[in-house]
Amino acid sequence: MTTRAESERMAAISSQTVADLRKIGAHHVADRMERCARERRHRTPGGGRNWTCRGAACPWCSRRLLARWQSGLFDWVGDGDGVSYASIPLAAGGHIRDVVRSYRRALRDLRDREGRKRRVWRQMYAAGIVLPSAGGRAARQTG
């Protein structure tokens, strides 16, 4: 459940995202997000929502979508011995793709460098997902 202030903030984010999507010519996605916001405003108490866009850019739909992606990633990777999870905050500044690319490259270089010294590092694999900040805490972290 969201507070009124949070809902207003999310509505403002949604409006700005829709405007940005229209600027880049992604009218179909913008229309879906607008419909999602409209359905949200016109829902009845206890009646739920009739329609959702299920988009990663939608502030309301992305929460559930990202939680499902994260759960799927954990299911895919597994929970056995030798598997660990880490939450790494991304450095602020720059485009998110550039930041993620630099983290991937640094992790790959570390694995390759250590793999030349110790055989166990040659078996190391990494998988990841970028999630919005959860107040500074990881949604799930072990090992």
H/E/C letters for each residue in the chain? CCCHHHHHHHHHHHHHHHHHHHHCCCHHHHHHHHHHHHHHHCCECCCECCCCCCCCCCCCHHHHHHHHHHHHHHHHHCCCCCCCCCCCCCCCCCCHHHHHHHHHHHHHHHHHHHHHHCHHHHHCCCCCCCCCCCCCCCCCCCC
Note the pLDDT of residue 31: 93
Note the pLDDT of residue 125: 79
Taking a C-beta distance cutoff of 8 angstroms, is the pair 89, 69 a contact?
no
Q: 119 and 92 in one domain?
A: yes
**Does the predicted model carry a pTM greater than 0.85?**
no
Q: 35 and 98 in one domain?
A: no
Domain boundary residue, one of 37, 55, 73: 55
Note the pLDDT of residue 49: 61
Note the pLDDT of residue 27: 92
Q: 76 and 29 in one domain?
A: no
Number of structural domains (the chain) is 2
Q: 45 and 111 in one domain?
A: no
The one-digit pLDDT tens for each residue of the chain (143 residues) are 568 888 888 889 889 989 998 999 989 999 999 998 888 877 777 766 678 888 888 888 888 888 888 788 778 877 777 777 777 777 666 677 788 888 889 889 998 999 999 988 888 877 777 765 544 334 444 43
Q: Which domain holds residue 27?
A: 1-55
Q: 91 and 67 in one domain?
A: yes
